[in-house]
Amino acid sequence: MASAVMELVDTSAVNVSIPYIAGNLSASIDEATWVLTSYLVSNAIVLPMTGWLAARFGRKRLLLTAVTGFTVASMMCGLAPTLPILIGCRVLQGLFGGALQPTTRAILLETFPREQRGHAMAMWGVGIVVAPILAPVLGGWLTTSFSWRWVFFINLPVSIFGWIMVKIFVSDPAYVRGQKQGIDYWGVGLLAIGVAALQVVLDKGQEADWFSSHWIAALAVIGGACLVAFVIWELRAPAPVVHLRLFKYRTFAAAAGLSIVLFFVLYGSILLLPLFMQEVLQFPAITAGIWNAPRGAATMILMPLAGYLIGRRWDMRALLFGGIVASAFGVLWFASLDGSAGPWSFFWPQMLMGAGLSFVFVPFATISVDPIPNHEMGYATSITGFTRNIGSSFGISIMATVLARRRQVHQDRLVAHINPASPHVRQLHSGLMAMLHQAGSSLTLASHQAWGLIYGSVLRQATVLSYLDAFRLLAVLFFGVAPLVWIMRKPRFDRQR
């Protein structure tokens, strides 16, 4: 868990440091965001190949190499004197970091017998869910109190601890001890180009106005063509780098689809909530970070209970369904807020969503790979890790687009009702103009300022409505995907491993 959490903390904490990195390295914000994009691209390339790497080099050796490489790359990031060097170091960091989550999850699932996997996934899930929620608080504190470089240096003690624990306690089963197999060069090449192109499209699409940009459209075509060719090639390759035939298991296929939506909603809400607090309610960044913590706290507290219930042979599908529905109601609760909401208005919706997520991630992490044979476990966890990455990237990109588009729609609709001939509008304008004139403005200036205040109020209301629309969309997605749970087969604990 320490190895997996290290990667998640670093990924989420860097987000809040981008303005400081840009200022310190004499770059624009747009240029500095390549620090995020470069990491996500390289990370996404390695994720689906993790199972193949573990089979070829051994799972313990892969994990030790990934932890070491991630740590060294982190130190290089913290010492980078220029933005291009920092971006290059982030590429290395992403390449090593991509193997951490799938490998650690596969090790835990193989180590524990079926009846104890719920407990294992509960402990692993605490870090996986809580880290991206609490990391922005840590990142904001380190950046403002010390320097953005400490966001990278903080990895050192965690990685040393994780490396020592892996070296002492982790061992490979016989079927993953350096299997001799050929290298699927075509598969690796098509996967790398397709995933890299797709990740850049998702990360930069909104910024470049999507397909109105020629280079975004070109990358989308290249990425789509390469991924289609990759699927066709892998289904025919004698030694594929990604075992797509695992989708023949109904439970695993349903879990892959559920994973995309699940992380779409989770990371979409992680994007929306702090922005709503800061943009609409004018919360300071550190305050917004603190008031995003209740969701993670609720998840962390209740995850062991979810693991206990699974150990007591509760139907994991029922727990998963109930968790998704509860989380959906929590997200829908956010859609009832308005521009006058205070910090405590976010507390109970987050507690409900966090409680629901605790009964989502533990059963999901356990049931999704239940039908998978142990010798295929690494390939399965690498695929589910990839779906998590794609879901979170889609969630962030699409919700940012929804926010911008809905703000414009509401602005146009509200402005249409601001008619200077309307008695109510004239009365509001006259009242504001009189107040500004008494404050010292001339009549002409006060008139212009009054219209500015009215238009500013319209913009703020349009912004609030766009956030509420975005929260409703996330809730609808959660409600819509909940029935997919019942496609999965009920796990049988007495089945042979």
We report the CATH number of the domain holding residue 169 as 1.20.1250.20
The reply to whether 353 and 454 lie within a common domain is yes
**Range scoring the smallest mean pLDDT among 124-133, 232-241, 305-314, 346-355:** 124-133
The reply to whether 9 and 32 lie within a common domain is yes
**Range scoring the smallest mean pLDDT among 238-252, 277-291, 378-392:** 277-291
Confidence class for position 110, pLDDT limits 50, 70, 90: confident
The reply to whether 94 and 196 lie within a common domain is no
Q: What does DSSP assign to residue 374?
A: G
Beta strands per DSSP E along 384-463: none
The reply to whether 33 and 156 lie within a common domain is yes
Confidence class for position 421, pLDDT limits 50, 70, 90: low
Of 397, 313, 412, give the one whose Cα is nearest residue 363.
Answer: 313
The reply to whether 78 and 175 lie within a common domain is yes
pLDDT of residue 451: 65
The reply to whether 126 and 47 lie within a common domain is yes
**With the CA atoms of 43, 47, 51 and 54 taken in that order, what torsion angle do they form, in degrees rounded to the nearest 10?**
10
Which of 139, 165, 182 marks a domain boundary?
182
The reply to whether 127 and 234 lie within a common domain is no
For range 300-305, the mean pLDDT: 82
* C-alpha to C-alpha distance for 408 and 412, rounded to whole angstroms: 6
The reply to whether 229 and 279 lie within a common domain is no
Question: Which phi and psi angles does 197 have, rounded to 5°?
Answer: -65, -45
Q: Check pLDDT > 80 for residue 289.
A: no
Helix, strand, coil abundance in the chain, percent, nearest 5: 80, 0, 20
For range 348-359, the mean pLDDT: 89
Q: The domain containing residue 366 runs over which residues?
A: 246-497
The reply to whether 67 and 168 lie within a common domain is yes
pLDDT of residue 29: 66
The reply to whether 207 and 93 lie within a common domain is no
The reply to whether 130 and 228 lie within a common domain is no
Q: Check pLDDT > 90 for residue 325.
A: yes
- Is 447 strand, coil or helix? helix
* C-alpha to C-alpha distance for 308 and 362, rounded to whole angstroms: 10
CA distances for 135 relative to 144, 154, 238, 296, 315, angstroms: 14, 11, 42, 11, 33
Q: Check pLDDT > 90 for residue 329.
A: yes
- Is 369 strand, coil or helix? coil
Q: How many CB atoms lie within 10 A of CB 171?
A: 12
Q: Which residue has the higher pLDDT, 165 or 182?
A: 165
Q: What does DSSP assign to residue 184?
A: -
pLDDT of residue 178: 54
pLDDT digits (tens, 9 = 90+) for 266-283: 878 877 887 788 777 877
Q: Which pairs count as long-range contacts for 419-427, CB under 8 Å and 24+ apart, including other chains?
A: 425/454
**CA 294 and chain centroid, separation:** 18
pLDDT digits (tens, 9 = 90+) for 29-73: 667 777 777 787 788 788 888 887 887 788 888 889 999 999 899
Provide the number of structural domains found in the chain. Answer: 3
* C-alpha to C-alpha distance for 45 and 311, rounded to whole angstroms: 35
- Mean pLDDT (the chain) is 80
The reply to whether 319 and 403 lie within a common domain is yes
